[in-house]
Amino acid sequence: METVQQIAVDTDELIINTIRTLSMDGVQMANSGHPGTPMALAPVAFTIWDKYMRFDPHNPDFPNRDRFILIWIYDNNRITIEGETSLAFSEDVATRFLSYNWHVQRVGDANDTEFLERALQNAVNEKERPSLLIVDSHIAFGSPNKQDTAGAHGAPLGEEEIRATKEAYGWDPDRQFYVPPEVEEYREAVREKGERIEVEWNEKYKNYRSEYPDLAKEFELIQKHQMPDGWDRCIPEFPADEKGVATRKSNGQVLNAIAKHHPWLLGGAADLAPSTNTLIDGADGFGKGNYKGRNFHFGIREHAMGAVANGMALSKLRPYAATFLIFSDYMRPAIRLSALMEQPVIYIFTHDSIGLGDDGPTHQPVEHIASLRAIPNLDVIRPADANEVAVLWKYIMELQNRPAALILSRQNVPTIDRSKYASADGALRGAYVLADSESTPEVILIGTGSEVQLKINDHK
């Protein structure tokens, strides 16, 4: 049977146009979508997946599959929904990224797959810096009336324009969702190649497991979202204390107790680790030349921090990302994606109340907890004292397909005397009766987090 490479030499353009026509037909049938970009970037997608990406279509979770890392592609089609980008954008993208010390290249024509391949290889060979490929493309390439127009950006092309475009490609305009036999043959060759790649890797891994059984066991636990034995054995219990401790501080103690026995728990803060108490004691900072570090210094980049945490979770690590609750607004899109992708990222938000009067209204979260609770598939957890922090971390660490937002106080809160009030284990139910009445209650006092102490005082 012919190899992928032999088939691709003869059918590259046919495959690329198949991607384009399938995209047009799909958007048209849905009567919604953006056909222009896949029509423009089909050569780019094909070149990347055909020449560089290692994957097995039968197993999208193949551990040795390639991911999109270090190399970024900027589609420079100069079109937005409202019209040409010049309406509101004049930035020199190349100069900006050169100022960041990125490796920058320009590909003058997205359809020049040979040049694109050389540029990608240059990026692969660049070992010290991230790479940006600025690719000039034509939105809705091949469309006689909508190429290089905003009309192809956010709406279907329309049946007549699709017919005209297919004719421009040399396709039968009456066929929809058509995959030529040559492309089907290529597809099957790609499947066989992917299966072969995984079989070869599995054999190598079998040998690795024989030589390094302990490391292999740890790797397998990571892949299965499981935890090492005894990961929770050092989680502390806190004695009753009227003065108490801020839950951000007790959280730091619990985090470090878990981190001692859970090597792939790692994360950091958006330039606020001393305030959020989220450094792992004794661990190095992650960075160039020290990839064993577990403390990440994200800088003042909340959204980027959330995006990085999502990437780590997709790689089966267990990341946490910390900042002040008020700044959750900056990273909301990343939090929402965690929930949509069902990734168990741990978001740690401290300084949770309007008690932060000395910092002024810009630092006082008022609507933020309600806003986070409105995100589907996000567990919002607000412990009332140190022992609830300890109990709820056990719940958080067991999560496999949903993120959690841990809401913590800056100010001290009493460590509740559990000989007088209900066990902190009740927090695992989401809500529980801390102190009951002797008869039918006339008033029910409800609180969460740092406000629970106020309800206890009212109860007294």
**Contact in structure between 346 and 315 (CB atoms under 8 Å):** no
> By C-alpha distance, which of 460, 370, 366 is closest to 414?
460
> By C-alpha distance, which of 358, 415, 347, 405 is closest to 384?
415
The CA-CA-CA angle for residues 245, 248, 250, to 5°, reads 55
Helix (H) or strand (E) holding 12: helix 4-30
Count helices and strands (H / E) in the chain.
14, 11
C-alpha–C-alpha distance, residues 152 and 147, integer Å: 7
**Contact in structure between 59 and 32 (CB atoms under 8 Å):** no
Q: What are the catalytic residues?
A: 302
Helix axes 4-30, 181-211, angle to 10 degrees: 110
Cβ burial of 280 (10 Å; 0-12, 13-18, 19+) is: buried
Task: Name the pairing type of β-strands 295-297 and 265-269.
Answer: parallel
Burial 196-224 (b: 16+ CB within 10 A, else e): ebbeebeeeeeeeeeeeeeeeeebebbee
Entry field: residues in the chain: 460
Task: Name the pairing type of β-strands 404-407 and 379-381.
Answer: parallel
* Span between the terminal Cα atoms of the chain, in Å: 82
> By C-alpha distance, which of 343, 347, 348, 319 is closest to 400?
343
Helix (H) or strand (E) holding 193: helix 181-211
**Contact in structure between 116 and 43 (CB atoms under 8 Å):** yes
Write out the E strands in 88-152: 103-107, 131-136
Helix (H) or strand (E) holding 244: strand 241-246
Tokens found for residue 72? 């970024």
| The residue to which tokens 């892949």 are assigned | 223
> By C-alpha distance, which of 452, 440, 218 is closest to 318?
218
What does the CA dihedral 48, 53, 57, 61 come to, rounded to 10 degrees? -130
Task: For residue 269, list its beta bridge partners.
Answer: 297, 322
C-alpha–C-alpha distance, residues 364 and 358, integer Å: 10
